[in-house]
């Protein structure tokens, strides 16, 4: 298990960004992975916790594949390291996004379904749902509590004069325990820094940067719905396209409630393998 955790960490240091790269880290917009492309992403969440709690670092690696122009599938593996405690593997997730409508509309819905097999030590906070977790228990105890969870999202996203507006409404059900349904939300707005592409390849020109802001948090559960004891964050985001295939992401998320971490530093790198599906098929003898 320790070897697997180390692998997750190593991958996260080596890798961490799309043709149409969204700057968001938590919020989803309606742009799916292009068919046949594989994107490898590694993100990390570094948590600056409340007083008396320990700093933690939670990396995750994500494989995102465009099955069709309407369907994108992803696999995550994640880990976590807490200062003065230990480094642990915290589980895996499998998610699918479906685009029901063929054409672009004023509001574009995407349906999202995710299965999670994680333990309570998970700290990646890819989504914030339910009530805010306590970060006081040691990893050795937290890893003993496994959770199989089913998560659905309604993703709504619009493009208005090159602004992207995205809204995610989240419902999560822990299949391992009777906790009712947990709710959460994520909103994002972003805009490229330049809308015209220059003739030459350039690394630092404005067209390679997209900036925005995310707002996300939990909304309690069916047992206690609302803002009480929930975590909420406001997070500026910036994405920097390093090349045709690679993008860097950075987002400092500022906690808005007493139950939130004061600061979450999120950063990541993504690399896209174009035509991966075809290359893989040729490897197994398919004709070009």
Partner 1 sequence: MMRLTVICLGVVVAIAGAENPSYKPDDDWQAPAAAVARPNPLANKPQAAQGGRKLFMRNCAECHGEDAMGMGKKHSANLRLAAVQSQSDGSLFWKITNGNVDKGMPPFSGLPEMQRWQIVLYIRTLRPRP
- H helices of 57-173, in order, are 139-142
In the bound state with partner 1, the residue whose beta carbon lies nearer, of 133 and 275, is 275
Which of 3, 51, 161, 285: binder of partner 1 (CB under 8 A)? Answer: 161
State the minimum distance, in angstroms, from the CB of residue 199 to partner 1. Answer: 3
Query: Residue 6 in 3-state DSSP?
Result: helix
Q: Tell me, by CB under 8 A, how many residues bind partner 1.
A: 37
Out of 52, 244, 283, 284, name the contact with partner 1 by CB under 8 A: 244
190-210 burial by CB neighbour count: b if 16+ within 10 A, else e? Answer: bebeeeeeeeeeeeeeeebbb
Q: Where are the alpha helices (DSSP H) in the chain?
A: 2-14, 139-142, 276-283
**Min CB(271)–partner 1 separation in Å:** 14
Q: Does 156 bind partner 1 (CB under 8 A)?
A: no
**Binding mask of the shown chain, residues 29 to 48, with x at each position contacting partner 1 by CB under 8 A:** x-xx-xxxx-----------
Residue 113 corresponds to which tokens in the numbers above? 């379904």
In the bound state with partner 1, the residue whose beta carbon lies nearer, of 1 and 199, is 199
Distance CA 188, CA 241 (A): 19
Binding mask 195-214 for partner 1 (x = CB under 8 A): xxxxxxx-------------
Choices 38-46, 101-109, 125-133, 170-178; region in contact with partner 1 by CB under 8 A: 101-109
CA distance 52 to 266: 22
Query: What are 78's strand-pairing partners?
Result: 60, 91
Of 274, 200, 192, nearest to 241 by C-alpha is 192
Is the CB of 18 or the CB of 153 nearer to partner 1?
18
Choice from 10, 68, 145, 224 touching partner 1 (CB under 8 A)? 68
Cβ-contact 139, 86 below 8 angstroms: yes
Task: Return d(Cα 168, Cα 183) in angstroms, integer.
Answer: 11
Binding marks (x or -) toward partner 1, 268..287, rule CB under 8 A? ------xx--x---------
Residue 64 binds to partner 1 (criterion: CB under 8 A): no
Of the pair 128, 186, the CB lying nearest partner 1 is at 186
The nearest distance, CB 188 to partner 1, in angstroms, is: 13
Would you say how long the chain is, in residues?
A: 288
Task: Give the residue among 199, 174, 236, 247 at the shortest CA–CA distance from 26.
Answer: 236
Q: What is the DSSP string of 215-269?
A: EEEEEEESSSBSSTT--EEEEEEEEEE-SSSEEEEEEEEEE-STTS-SEEEEEEE
Cβ proximity to partner 1, 36 vs 268, nearer residue: 36
* Contact positions vs partner 1 (CB under 8 A): 18-22, 29, 31-32, 34-37, 66, 68-70, 99, 102-104, 159, 161-162, 164, 192, 195-201, 244, 274-275, 278, 288
């Amino acid at each position: 298990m320790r070897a697997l955790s180390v692998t997750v960490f190593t991958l996260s240091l080596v890798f961490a960004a799309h043709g149409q790269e969204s700057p968001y880290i938590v919020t989803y917009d309606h742009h799916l992975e292009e068919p046949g492309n594989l994107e490898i992403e590694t993100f990390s969440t570094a948590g600056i916790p409340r007083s008396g709690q320990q700093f933690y670092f939670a990396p995750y690696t994500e494989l995102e594949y465009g099955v069709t122009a309407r369907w994108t599938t992803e696999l995550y593996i994640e880990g976590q390291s807490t200062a003065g405690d230990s480094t642990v593997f915290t589980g895996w997730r499998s998610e699918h996004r479906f685009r029901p409508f063929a054409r672009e509309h004023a509001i574009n819905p995407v349906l999202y379904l995710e299965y999670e097999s994680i333990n309570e030590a998970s700290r990646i906070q890819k989504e914030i749902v339910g009530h805010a977790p306590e970060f006081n228990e040691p990893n050795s105890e937290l890893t003993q509590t496994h959770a199989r969870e089913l998560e659905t999202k309604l993703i709504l996203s619009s493009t208005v004069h090159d602004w992207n507006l995205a809204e995610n409404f989240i419902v999560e059900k822990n299949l391992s325990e009777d906790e009712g349904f947990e709710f959460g939300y994520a909103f994002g707005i972003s805009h490229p820094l330049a809308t015209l592409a220059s003739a030459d390849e350039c690394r630092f020109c404005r067209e390679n940067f997209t900036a925005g802001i995310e707002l996300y948090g939990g909304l309690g559960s069916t047992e206690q719905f609302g803002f009480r004891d929930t975590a909420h964050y406001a997070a500026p985001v910036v994405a920097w396209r390093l090349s045709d295939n690679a993008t860097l992401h950075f987002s400092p998320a500022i906690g808005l409630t007493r139950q939130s971490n004061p600061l979450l530093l999120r950063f990541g790198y993504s690399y896209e393998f174009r035509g991966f599906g075809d290359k893989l098929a040729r490897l197994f003898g398919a004709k070009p």
